[in-house]
Amino acid sequence: MESETGKDEQAEGPSVIQERLNWKLACRDDARVAQGLYAGEEIEEMHELSDAGVLDEFFVFLEEVGILHAFEQISLPGVKRVLVPTVQFVLLYFLKVLFGSSSMNALPRVLFSNLALMELVGFNAQQCANGLTKRGDAQRQSKKKQGPITPQCLAENISKLKQEEMEALFNQMVHLLVGWGLLSGERIAALDGSKLPTPQSYEGCGKLKQTRKVKVKGQKEPVLEEYYVYGWKVLVLMDVHTRLPLAIKLVPIQEYEGRWLVPLLAQAQRNLGTHAHIGTIVIDRGYLDGEDLWQVHQRGVRFVIVGKANMAVVADAHGLAQGERAKVRERVVRHGHGKTASEERLRTEVVGLEALTSYDSYGAAAQTQHAQRRDYEGQADQCSGGASLGQSGAQRRRHGLLDQCAGQRPVHDL
C-alpha cells in the first residue's frame, strides 16, 4: 500500500503555481534519498515541495525587488473602516491569478483553506479556522467556514481599485523589475489589445455593438443578430523575447486602440528608464495611422506593420518587388492532435524595398493635411517597406510590410 502511494506521488506533475513561476522543479524520490543517506552522503539543503514552500521563496524575491512595498502603498478609495489591510486583498488576488483560478467561488477550496499560504499572506490559524468576524454564524447550518474572508468580500473590495491606480501599480512593478536587471539593451516590443467582458452593471465599463449568426425556427439560413458586449479593453505592450509586459492601458471596450500607440510607447520607455530602450515595435493593422507612425519614427523606433491591400504604397511595393531577389523561408506547421493531426508546408518570400513615398498620410499633421494636392510629395527615405508573398498549400496571400528597414533583412515570423 505504501509503495502504491509513493508511485502516485511520483506520478503527480508540477502544480499550476510551479509551472507559472517557471522555476526549476524538484520531484520526490524517497528511495533515492534513502540510498544516499545509507551511503553516508551529506545533506546540503532541505526544501519543502508544497506550493507554500515555493511561494515563500517567491515572496522573498518580491520583497527584494521592492514589489511588496509597492503593494503596501495601495489604498482603497471610499473605504472608511478597514478590517483587512489592502495589501492582503492585493496579495490574495495576486495568488488567485498565480494559481490559475478563473472563479472566485473556487478560492475557499483552492486558496483560503490552505493554512500555510494564508499565514504567508498575513492571516493566523484562528482567523483561517473561524473567520475574521462572526457575521452570518447564526444562519450557518452545516457548512463550515473556509478561510478568513469570503470570495465575495475579496471581489467587492478589490474591484474598488480605480483603473489609474492599477496602471500606476503595473508601471511601478515593471520599473522595479527592469531596475533589478531583468532587461537591458535594445528590445523588440509588440502591442496588441484584448477584450475583458464584464456585467453591464460594472461601473465605468464600455459598450460595444457586435453581430452574430443565429438560427431562426422555420428558416434554413441563419440571420444576423445585433447584441452588445460590456466591459473593458486592455492594451499590452510587451517585450517579444521575454514576454514581459512593458506598459498597459485599460480603456472602455469600444475605444479605438490606435490613439494609444504613442502614449503606450512613451510609457514603456519611461518604465525601462536608462536600463533598456525599445528599438523595434511590431503592431497590427488596427494601429495603421500615418501620423502616429511618423511620431514613432521621430522617437527613433523602427515599426513593423502589415499594410492594407487597397493602399497605394502596398500596390507600389508589390510592383517593385517583382524583379527583385527575395529572401525565402520554408517551414512545416502542425495542426490538430492525434489521428486528426496534419502538417502544412509554408513558404514565405520577402523582398526589402526602400524610399517608398506613396503612403500619403505618413508624416506630421501639418504636412499630411495637404495630401490631396497635386504637388504633394510624401516622406522619402523614411517609410520603407517590403512585399511579402506567402504560400500555404493551394492558397497564396500577399502582404505589404511597412517598416523602416532599408534593404533586405532576414525573414521573421509574419
Q: What pTM was estimated for this model as a whole?
A: 0.70
Compute the distance between CA of residue 76 and CA of residue 404 in angstroms, rounded to an integer. Answer: 45
Is the separation of the CB atoms in 246 and 265 below 8 Å?
no
Read off the pLDDT of each residue in 168-174 and give the average, rounded to a whole number. 90
Q: pLDDT tens digits, residue range 258-306?
A: 899 999 999 999 999 999 999 999 998 888 888 888 899 889 999 888 8
Give the residues across from 225 on adjacent strands. 212
Compute the distance between CA of residue 35 and CA of residue 30 in angstroms, rounded to an integer. Answer: 9
Instruction: State which of 126-130, 150-154, 202-206, 227-231 shows the largest mean pLDDT.
Output: 227-231
Compute the distance between CA of residue 28 and CA of residue 48 in angstroms, rounded to an integer. Answer: 10
Compute the distance between CA of residue 125 and CA of residue 129 in angstroms, rounded to an integer. Answer: 6
Ramachandran assignment for 273, one of left (phi > 0), alpha (psi -120 to 50 degrees), beta (any other): left
Compute the distance between CA of residue 192 and CA of residue 234 in angstroms, rounded to an integer. Answer: 9
Is the separation of the CB atoms in 335 and 341 below 8 Å?
yes
Compute the distance between CA of residue 172 and CA of residue 68 in angstroms, rounded to an integer. Answer: 11
In single-letter form, the type of residue at position 340 comes to T
Q: And the C-alpha cell for 221?
A: 439560413
All structural domains of the chain with their residue ranges = 2-50, 60-163, 307-414
Instruction: Report which of 210, 253, 214 is spatially closest to residue 228, judged by C-alpha positions.
Output: 210
Residue with the three cell numbers 517557471: 22
DSSP-based three-state secondary structure for 67:
helix
Q: Is the pLDDT of residue 237 over 90?
A: yes
DSSP-based three-state secondary structure for 245:
strand
Q: Is the pLDDT of residue 332 over 70?
A: yes
Q: And the C-alpha cell for 264?
A: 503606450
Give CA 271 to chain center in angstroms. 16
pLDDT classification of 216: cutoffs 50, 70, 90: confident
Q: Is the pLDDT of residue 81 over 50?
A: yes
